[in-house]
Amino acid sequence: MSEANCIFCKIVKGDIPAAKIYEDEHVLAFLDISQVTEGHTLVIPKNHHRDLFELPSEQASQLFSVIPTIANGLKAAFQPKGLNMVNNNGEDAGQTVFHYHVHLIPRYGQGDGFG
Ligand code: 5GP
Ligand code: ZN
């Protein structure tokens, strides 16, 4: 399932490039185009769902089951001191791309640019 004008569906289809860091049948992770901190990553279901309210449980299970693997990959690659997992749902919550996604934001200590 994809939506014609969705930028993340276009990344899934390969119509626009992204720096992919994890991919399986159901899930894709790639670097955010605007890095809040080094290694800032977005994890998405390959199918289009607008937000958490519309995300089927099965898709949530598939996505969250690989998040520890992705987080450990980021830990090994970037050696952060910590990591924030953030998910905005709805315009009023700060969502700007309406294809469900989780932000993984590696943290490097005070002044690293986030929070
Ligand atoms: P939101 O504000 O919806 O939680 O997060 C959307 C994120 O998508 C933003 O951090 C933004 O930088 C990122 N983003 C928007 N367009 C693109 C794109 O074309 N490629 C990549 N890699 N990230 C994008
Ligand atoms: Zn989409």
Which ligand 1 atom is the nearest neighbour of the CA of 36? 10
CATH number (domain holding residue 60):
3.30.428.10
Which atom of ligand 1 is closest in space to residue 18's alpha carbon?
A: 22
Distance in Å, CA 72 to ligand 1 centroid: 22
Per the domain annotation, does 45 fall within a domain?
yes
Task: Give the pLDDT mean for 90-98.
Answer: 98
Q: What is the pLDDT of residues 25-45, one digit of tens each?
A: 999 999 999 999 999 999 999
* Global confidence as pTM: 0.98
Q: Which ligand is nearest to the CA of 30?
A: 1
- Which range marks the domain in which residue 24 is found? 7-107
Amino acid 2: pLDDT: 75
**Residue owning the nearest CA to atom 17 of ligand 1:** 33
Ligand 1 atom with least separation from CA of 103: 4
Amino acid at 67: I
Does residue 112 form part of some domain?
no
Residue 12 lies in a domain: yes
How far is the centre of ligand 2, averaged over its atoms, from the C-alpha of 64 (Å)?
A: 18
Point out the residues that are catalytic. 101
Dist. CA 99–CA 115, nearest whole Å: 24
Q: What average pLDDT does the segment 46-70 reach?
A: 98
Token pair, residue 112, equals: 């690293």
Residue 61 resides in a domain: yes
| Domain-embedded: residue 93 | yes
Predicted confidence (pLDDT) at residue 1 exceeds the cutoff of 70: no
Handedness of CA 96, 8, 39, 64 (dihedral sign): positive
Domain assignment present for residue 1? The answer is no
C-alpha 10 – ligand 2 centre gap (Å): 7
From the CB of residue 46, how many other CB atoms can be counted at a distance below 10 Å?
A: 21
User: Residue 76's pLDDT is what?
Assistant: 98
User: Mean pLDDT throughout 62-80?
Assistant: 98
Residue 23, domain member (yes or no): yes
Confidence of residue 68 (pLDDT cuts 50, 70, 90): very high
Structural domain total, the chain: 1
In a domain, 115, yes or no: no
